[in-house]
Structures are given as C-alpha cells and as structure tokens.
C-alpha cells in the first residue's frame, strides 16, 4: 500500500515514510491510496475477538511490505495493553470507554502505537531522534507517556506556563527519563511558533534529528480505527442490531478513523459528529458551506478547534462529494450549559459520570434519536475519564469523582520542567546543549 497526499502534489510513500514526515511535502495530509476491504470471514467472526486481534487484522494491509507479522502483533499487544469496555448506560445507549490508558484519554491509542512504530524504524540507525511537541495540555501528556522509555527516542515538550491545568502539568512534566518538558513564559501560540522555527532552522537540523508527533500523523490515526470494530464486536455479543457511532469531535481524527473502518467493510448504521460551540462541521453537514474560523473556548476544551485539520481527509475519502459526506455523517453542536445539564441529568438518572467531551457525544446521540426516530442502539465514544475534568464535573454531581490510582500517584510527583523564555534562541540553545 502507498500513501498519498490529500493535496495530490506529493510522491506516494510507504507508511513508515509518511509517519516520519508527518505532513506531506505539498502541505497535504497522508491518506492510503486505496482502502483495503477486509474479508467477510473477518467481519462475521467479530464476537469474542480481542482488540489486539482486530488491530492486527486491520493494520496488516496498511503495513504489508514494511513490517513482519510477528513484530506488528507485538507492537499492537504492547501499545494497547489496557481494557476498552462497552458499557450500557440507558436502554439504547452504550458508551465505549476509551480512557483506560495511562493518560486517561483516547489519545493514548494513537500515541502509544506511533511511539512503538517510531522505535522500530530507528532500530538499525545510530542517531537518536528528538520529538518536539508544542502542547496546550492533552496531546503533550499522551505523547510523553507514549514515548516514555522507548529506546532511541527523546521527547521535548513545550507548554505555556500557568496555562495548562495542574493535573495536565503533573501528567506531562513529572516523567523524567527520555522526556524533557519546558514551561514557556508565554502562550500556546508562542510554543507552536518556537517549534515551527526549530524545524526550519538549518543549523539545528544538521546536528539533531527532529521529528514531530502531532495529531495529523498517519500513525496516530490508524490504531483509532481498531476500537470502532472492537466496540461493534462487543455489541454483537449482545444483539444482532447494527449500532450507530457518536464521536465527540475537535480535529476530527477520531471520526476519520471510524470512517476508515466503514470503508474497510464495518457495519455501522450511521456516524454522528458531536461538537461543542466550535460548530464548523455540523453547520456544513446541515447544508451550509464549509467555513473554518477562530476557535472558541468551552468546558470540553480538547475539542476547541475552529479549523479541523482532518476534515480534508474526510473530503478525500468521499471523493469530495458533499452529498456523500452529508449522507454518511449527521452532526450537531451543543453549548456548555447543555453539556453541564447533561452531566447532571445522566448522573442522577443512571449514576454514570460523564466527562464534558463524552457528554457532548451523549447529547448528540439523544438528539439523533429524537429527530430522526432512529431505533437502533448507539455507541458513544467516551474520549476522557471524568476525573481529568473534576473541576467541571464535581460541582454538577455534588460529589468527588473517584480518581484512578495512576492519576493519584502522579499528583504526588515533582514537576521537573525547566522554565524558558518565549524565544526561539532560548529553545535552540536548550536543544543544542541537551541533544
């Protein structure tokens, strides 16, 4: 299989090359030149198939000539070593809990898989690689944990001082080992600018092998298609009715991965894009033109995206047919007040605690039922553990959110990040000294 750019002006490359490059040289995003259709035998035997078996079957055609079967299975077993339960919360609504990884959010899937693929690619090379990441919170911790202890790879994270939550800072700046964190005296935009400058600095790229790990990377997307199929497998153990999938969305990587699974032959009644007030895609799905704009901040802040980068992958997947996209995906946006009310109501009715991102998904699933008369059950992807957003959730349910052990442990650890000015020269000398 080859990977081509959504902009169509770059040479086709292998998976490993697309992963190393991140963005295609023409500025587009890498996509497979052709979606593999998995055999009926696979789709018929889903019940009682494990996440790791499903992952292998899906990933295999993407990596056919690049990695041997045993090595691929090992990477998947090792990356996805946590549970992904499907929990029924109302008669027709199920939640697929994607937050049992080390940073308690679904970004662990992509980050852990990508880290192991990077490490494998580096195995026969002398020079270490340094992954440089600017983060406003969640991506940084998933990448840091994903690469922790992975041989041949260093990670350098930049985050804006005082502008990430205490918990996020604890999750990304206490790790040590091959992870270095810099707290920048500035904003997230400053962090991003400094990282961009580093990539284009000729002197740095001569001495240090820099790479990126941002959310558009193909190696982060692929493993996200595994859990859709695993969610369906668990559903099929309970009922023959085909579910629809609801996806709390920001950059739309998660939804794109689901659509990949659909194109590979997965049964799905429908896909639902659930957003907060950053509603560019729902507006488009309701018939307006696609109009990116500046992001607005909300309580589901990991979805505060005004110009979703993966939308171009969705357009490419449907051959740029607005009609086909609008037929496959239903979309809806919700306000913070609606989100808070949903968390409160669902807790009082069922005892289940939603994080703000998942709550947006639940609202969309409910609205989809009410507006379309859909009677099939729905699977809402739960993208984060509610304890990560305790400050929002606890006042709504009037009690503490039980904190998982690993989160408690990291709250006691010491912050190891170094302060740095919001200035490229400071970053450059730090990198020169440390790598």
Ligand X SMILES: *Cc1c(COP(=O)(O)O)cnc(C)c1O
Answer yes or no whether residue 301 interacts with ligand X by CB under 6 A.
no
Least Å from the CB of residue 381 to ligand X: 9
**Which pairs count as long-range contacts for 61-64, CB under 8 Å and 24+ apart, including other chains?**
61/1, 61/36, 62/1, 62/15, 62/32, 62/36, 62/222, 63/1, 63/15, 64/1
SS3 222: helix
Site string for ligand X, 253-292 (x = CB under 6 A): xx--------------------------------------
Which residues 6+ apart lie within 8 Å of 181 measured at CB?
140, 144, 156, 157, 158, 159, 172, 173, 175, 416, 417, 418
Answer yes or no whether residue 105 interacts with ligand X by CB under 6 A.
yes
Least Å from the CB of residue 277 to ligand X: 14
- The residue among 228 and 252 lying less far from ligand X, judged by its C-beta, is 252
Q: Which of 107, 170, 180, 388 is catalytic?
A: 107
Tell me how far apart the alpha carbons of residues 227 and 171 are, in angstroms, rounded to a whole number: 24
Q: How many CB atoms lie within 10 A of CB 86?
A: 20
- The residue among 5 and 135 lying less far from ligand X, judged by its C-beta, is 135
Among 97, 108, 138, 190, the residue binding ligand X under the rule CB under 6 A is: 138
Q: Which of residues 383-402 bind ligand X (CB under 6 A)?
A: 383-384
Q: Which of residues 320-359 bind ligand X (CB under 6 A)?
A: 357
Say what angle helices 166-173 and 138-147 make with each other, to 10 degrees: 20
Least Å from the CB of residue 362 to ligand X: 13
Among 62, 147, 226, 252, the residue binding ligand X under the rule CB under 6 A is: 252
Side by side, the strands of the sheet bearing 179-185 are 209-211, 129-134, 153-160, 179-185, 418-421
Options 47-55, 147-155, 196-204, 246-254: segment touching ligand X (CB under 6 A) = 246-254
Answer yes or no whether residue 248 interacts with ligand X by CB under 6 A.
yes
Q: Which residue has the tokens 């989160």?
A: 407
| Dihedrals phi, psi of 200, to nearest 5 degrees | -100, 10
Tokens of 363: 């609202």
SS3 244: strand
- The residue among 154 and 276 lying less far from ligand X, judged by its C-beta, is 276
Least Å from the CB of residue 225 to ligand X: 12
- The residue among 355 and 366 lying less far from ligand X, judged by its C-beta, is 355
Least Å from the CB of residue 364 to ligand X: 13
Among 168, 225, 236, 249, the residue binding ligand X under the rule CB under 6 A is: 249
Tell me how far apart the alpha carbons of residues 160 and 136 are, in angstroms, rounded to a whole number: 7
C-beta of residue 384 within 8 angstroms of C-beta of residue 302 = yes
Is 107 a known active-site residue? yes
Options 166-174, 251-259, 262-270, 417-425: segment touching ligand X (CB under 6 A) = 251-259
What residue ranges bind ligand X (CB under 6 A)? 105, 107, 138, 248-254, 302-303, 357, 383-384
Catalytic residues: 107
């Amino acid at each position: 299989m080859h990977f081509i750019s959504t902009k169509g002006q770059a040479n086709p490359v292998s998976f490993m090359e697309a992963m190393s490059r991140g963005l295609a040289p023409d500025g587009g995003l890498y996509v497979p030149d052709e979606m593999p259709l998995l055999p009926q035998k696979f789709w018929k035997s889903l019940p009682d198939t494990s996440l790791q078996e499903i992952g292998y079957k899906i990933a295999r055609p993407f990596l056919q000539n690049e990695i041997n079967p045993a090595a691929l299975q090992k990477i998947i077993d090792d990356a996805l070593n946590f549970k992904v339960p499907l929990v029924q919360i109302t008669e027709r609504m199920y939640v697929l809990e994607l937050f049992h990884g080390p940073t308690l959010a679904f970004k662990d899937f992509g980050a852990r898989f990508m880290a192991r693929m990077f490490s494998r690619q580096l195995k026969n090379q002398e020079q270490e690689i340094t992954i440089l990441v600017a983060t406003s919170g969640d991506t940084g911790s998933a990448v840091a944990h994903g690469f922790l202890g992975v041989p041949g790879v260093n990670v350098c994270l930049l985050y804006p001082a005082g502008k990430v939550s205490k918990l996020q800072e604890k999750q990304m700046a206490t790790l040590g080992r091959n992870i270095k964190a810099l707290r920048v005296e500035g904003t997230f935009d400053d962090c991003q600018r400094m990282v961009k400058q580093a990539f284009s600095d000729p002197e740095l790229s001569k001495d240090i092998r820099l790479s990126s790990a941002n959310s558009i990377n193909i190696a982060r997307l692929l493993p996200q298609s595994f859990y859709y199929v695993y969610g369906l497998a668990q559903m099929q153990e309970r009922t023959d009715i085909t579910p629809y999938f609801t996806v709390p969305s920001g950059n739309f990587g998660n939804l794109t991965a689901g659509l990949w699974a659909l194109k590979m032959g997965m049964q799905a009644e429908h896909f639902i894009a659930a957003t907060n007030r950053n509603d560019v895609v729902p507006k488009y799905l309701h018939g307006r033109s696609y109009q990116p704009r500046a992001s607005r901040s909300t309580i589901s802040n990991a979805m505060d995206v005004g110009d979703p980068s993966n939308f171009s992958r969705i357009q490419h997947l449907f051959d740029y047919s607005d009609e086909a996209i609008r037929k496959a995906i239903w979309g809806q946006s919700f306000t913070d007040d609606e989100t808070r009310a949903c968390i409160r109501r669902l807790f009082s009715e069922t005892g289940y605690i939603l994080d703000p991102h998942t709550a947006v998904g639940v609202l969309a699933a409910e609205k989809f039922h009410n507006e379309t008369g859909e009677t099939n059950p729905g699977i809402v992807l739960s993208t984060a553990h509610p304890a990560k957003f305790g400050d929002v959730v606890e006042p709504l349910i009037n009690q503490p959110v039980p904190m998982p052990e690993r989160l408690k442990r990291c709250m006691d650890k010491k912050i190891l990040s170094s302060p740095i000015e919001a200035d490229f020269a400071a970053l450059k000398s730090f990198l020169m000294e440390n790598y």
